Amino acid sequence: MRRLLPTTILGAVLLVSIFVTPNVSSPLLSPGLLTPSLLLILLLGDTRLALLGALIGGFTVDLFSALPFGSHLIAYVATITATRWIFRTRITNRSFLAFLSLVSLGTILTHVLILVASHLGRLLDPQAASILANGWWFGFVLTDVMRTIVIAIIVYVTVRLSGRTYATLVSHEF
Amino acid sequence: MVDRPPQRRTSLIIGGLVAAVVSLHYLGALEPIERLVIRALSPIGRWTTAVLSPQVPADATGSASQLAARDQRIAELSVENAQLRSALDAATAATEQTRFLTAQRLIGVTGSIITRSADPTTEFVTIDRGTATGIQVDAPAIVAGGLVVGRVIEATNDTAHVLLSTDNRSSFTGVSAKSPTAQGVVSGARGLSLTMQLIPQSESIAVGDLIVTAGSDAGVPRGLILGEVDRIERQAGALFQSASLRPLYQAARLNVVTILTKTP
pLDDT above 70 covers what percent of chain B?
79
Q: Is A17 within 8 Å of B118 when comparing Cβ atoms?
A: yes
- Measure CA A163 to chain center: 26
| Ranges of H-type helices in chain B | 6-27, 31-52, 62-86, 97-104
Q: Is residue B160 one of the residues assigned to a domain?
A: no
CA distance B89 to chain A (A): 37
Q: Are the C-beta atoms of residues B256 and B113 closer than 8 Å to each other?
A: yes
Please check the confidence at residue A29 and state whether its pLDDT lies above 50.
no
Which of B2, B37, B18 lies closest to B159 in space, CA to CA?
B37
Q: Are the C-beta atoms of residues B135 and B160 closer than 8 Å to each other?
A: yes
A31: left (phi over 0), alpha (psi -120 to 50) or beta: alpha
Q: Note the pTM of the prediction, 2 decimals.
A: 0.60
> What is the sign of the dihedral through the CA atoms of B56, B190, A151 and A14?
positive
Provide φ and ψ at B117, rounded to 5°. Answer: -60, 130
State residue B86's pLDDT score: 43
Mean pLDDT of chain B: 79
Cβ neighbours around B62 below 10 Å, total: 9
Q: Is A140 within 8 Å of B121 when comparing Cβ atoms?
A: yes
Please check the confidence at residue B173 and state whether its pLDDT lies above 70.
yes
Please report the number of interchain residue pairs, chain A to chain B, with beta-carbon separation below 8 angstroms.
127
CA distance A163 to chain B (A): 32
Q: Is B120 within 8 Å of A27 when comparing Cβ atoms?
A: yes
Q: Is A168 exposed, middle or buried (0-12, 13-18, 19+ CB in 10 A)?
A: exposed
Which of B31, B24, B18 lies closest to A76 in space, CA to CA?
B18
Which tens digit of pLDDT belongs to each residue from A125-152?
A: 665 555 555 455 666 677 777 777 877 7
B153: helix, strand or coil: strand
DSSP B1: -
A39: helix, strand or coil: helix
CA distance B232 to chain A (A): 21
Q: Is residue B259 one of the residues assigned to a domain?
A: no
CA atoms within 13 A on the CB side of B150: 27
Q: How many domains does chain A have?
A: 1
Nearest to B26 among A20, A28, A124 (CB): A124
Any chain A CB within 8 A of the CB of B130? no
B241: helix, strand or coil: strand
Using the CB atoms, write b or e for A18-31: b if 16+ within 10 Å. Answer: bbbbbbeeebbebb
Nearest to B190 among A30, A134, A143 (CB): A134
Assign residue B233 the CATH number of its domain: 2.40.10.350
Name A73's Cβ contacts closer than 8 Å, sequence gap at least 6: A54, A55, A58, A59, A61, A62, B18, B21, B22
Distance between CA atoms of B42 and B9, rounded to whole angstroms? 37
Distance between CA atoms of A141 and A149, rounded to whole angstroms? 12
State residue B89's pLDDT score: 35
pLDDT-derived band at B151, boundaries 50, 70, 90: very high
DSSP A19: I
Q: Is residue B47 one of the residues assigned to a domain?
A: yes
Any chain A CB within 8 A of the CB of B264? no
| Ranges of H-type helices in B28-96 | 31-52, 62-86
Which tens digit of pLDDT belongs to each residue from B4-38?
A: 556 677 778 888 888 898 888 888 888 888 888 88
Mean pLDDT of chain A: 75
ipTM for the predicted complex comes to 0.74
| Ranges of H-type helices in B89-231 | 97-104
Q: Which residue has the higher pLDDT, A46 or A77?
A: A77
Q: Is residue A174 one of the residues assigned to a domain?
A: no
Which of A30, A40, A34 lies closest to A55 in space, CA to CA?
A34
Q: What average pLDDT score do residues B99-121 get?
A: 77
Which chain B residue's Cα is nearest to A32? B118
Distance between CA atoms of A56 and A37, rounded to whole angstroms? 14
B49: helix, strand or coil: helix
Distance between CA atoms of B251 and A49, rounded to whole angstroms? 36
What torsion do the CA atoms of B258, B48, A26, B161 make, to the nearest 10 degrees? Answer: -40
Distance between CA atoms of A149 and A135, rounded to whole angstroms? 22
State residue B72's pLDDT score: 73
Q: Print the domain residue range for B202.
A: 171-246
Which tens digit of pLDDT belongs to each residue from B230-261?
A: 889 888 888 889 999 998 888 877 878 889 98
Distance between CA atoms of B125 and A129, rounded to whole angstroms? 12
**Which chain B residues touch A22 with a CB distance below 8 Å?**
115-118
State residue B94's pLDDT score: 36
Q: Which residue has the higher pLDDT, B136 or A159?
A: B136
Q: Is residue A54 one of the residues assigned to a domain?
A: yes
Which chain B residue's Cα is nearest to A20? B48
Nearest to A73 among B21, B37, B38 (CB): B21
Any chain A CB within 8 A of the CB of B119? yes
Q: Is B121 within 8 Å of A20 when comparing Cβ atoms?
A: no
**Which chain A residues touch B122 with a CB distance below 8 Å?**
27, 66-67, 129, 131, 133
Q: Is B250 exposed, middle or buried (0-12, 13-18, 19+ CB in 10 A)?
A: middle
Which of A93, A83, A101, A82 lies closest to A148 in space, CA to CA?
A101
**Which chain B residues touch A131 with a CB distance below 8 Å?**
119, 121-122
Q: Which residue has the higher pLDDT, B49 or A64?
A: A64
Q: Is residue A115 one of the residues assigned to a domain?
A: yes
Distance between CA atoms of A70 and A55, rounded to whole angstroms? 10
State residue A120's pLDDT score: 75
Q: Are the C-beta atoms of residues B243 and B201 closer than 8 Å to each other?
A: no
CA atoms within 13 A on the CB side of B54: 6
CA distance A161 to chain B (A): 31
Q: Which residue has the higher pLDDT, B198 or A13?
A: B198
Q: Is B121 within 8 Å of A139 when comparing Cβ atoms?
A: yes
Q: Print the domain residue range for A150.
A: 4-22+30-169
Q: Is residue A35 one of the residues assigned to a domain?
A: yes
Distance between CA atoms of A26 and A93, rounded to whole angstroms? 36
State residue B139's pLDDT score: 92
Q: How many domains does chain B have?
A: 2
State residue A137's pLDDT score: 63
Please check the confidence at residue A58 and state whether its pLDDT lies above 70.
yes
Q: Is A65 within 8 Å of B119 when comparing Cβ atoms?
A: yes
Q: Is B118 within 8 Å of A74 when comparing Cβ atoms?
A: no
State residue B243's pLDDT score: 92
